[in-house]
Amino acid sequence: MNIVILLGAPGSGKGTIASRLAADDPQHLKHVSSGDLLRGAVAKGTPAGQAAKAAMDAGQLVADELIAAMIKDVIDETEGEVTMLLDGFPRNVKQAEILEGIGAKIRSVVLVDVADEAITDRIAGRRTCPKCKAGYNVTALPPKVEGICDHCGTALVVRADDNPETVRDRLRVYHAQTEPLIEYYRQKGLLRTIDGDQGPEKNAAAFKAAM
């Protein structure tokens, strides 16, 4: 297994790209988001998941090393020539160093580049299925039936953190903490950049070519 890291601001479309590509080629591509990884490890009761649950139950943040251990668990349990599309980790240089420390083979790092103004507008139209976690956008990627998930028929919702003030705060955190990863991976010769404002299909095609 090797890893392709998705970089980009919140709302840049990383998750949409990764889930679309993995659905099209499940034999060779595996989308792993840090949030899904955490929930899955807790549900399975892996050692890392148990430690993470203990931290969350105590109201503490899950340690970077635990997330990295969960990624290693996924690597160890995956067979064949599979590429993991890693979404949401690392978020800073320290996490990148921890990821490298577990021996993860990083194939490339693809930056999905979208201007802050476009992201703010995009997030305002974002909708999520609370059941199967499928994502939509009322203009860029609408469901077939307004307000209803294409996959499971559940009513779509607006995420609590998708309000404009929260979005601006998340963008500030991204620029301060995650953006330094761009130069970090550029110096390692791993960075590729795509225009993330081309629409879902073209974004996915551009990402696939870059990775």
Domain range annotation of the chain: 2-210
End-to-end Cα distance, the chain: 14
Q: What are the strands of the beta sheet with 106-113, ordered from one edge? A: 29-33, 83-87, 2-7, 106-113, 191-195
Q: What is 2-210's CATH superfamily? A: P-loop containing nucleotide triphosphate hydrolases (3.40.50.300)
Active site annotation includes 126: yes
**Pick the catalytic residue: 159, 168, 172, 202?**
159
pLDDT surpassing 80 at residue 160: no
For 161, which DSSP code? G
Query: How many CA atoms, within 13 angstroms, populate the side-chain half-sphere of residue 56?
Result: 14
Active site residue 39: no
pLDDT at 48 over 90: no
Residue 142: the pLDDT is 93
Report the pLDDT averaged over residues 48-68.
84
Of the listed 39, 53, 91, 192, which one is catalytic?
A: 91
Q: What is the DSSP letter of 157?
A: B
Confidence class of residue 44 from pLDDT cuts 50, 70 and 90? confident
Q: Which of 30, 122, 126, 127 is catalytic?
A: 126
pTM metric for this prediction: 0.81
**170 carries an active-site annotation:** yes
Which member of 170, 186, 192, 208 is catalytic? 170
Cα separation, 52 vs 42, in Å, equals 7
Q: Using CA atoms, how far apart are residues 23 and 67, in angstroms rounded to an integer?
A: 24
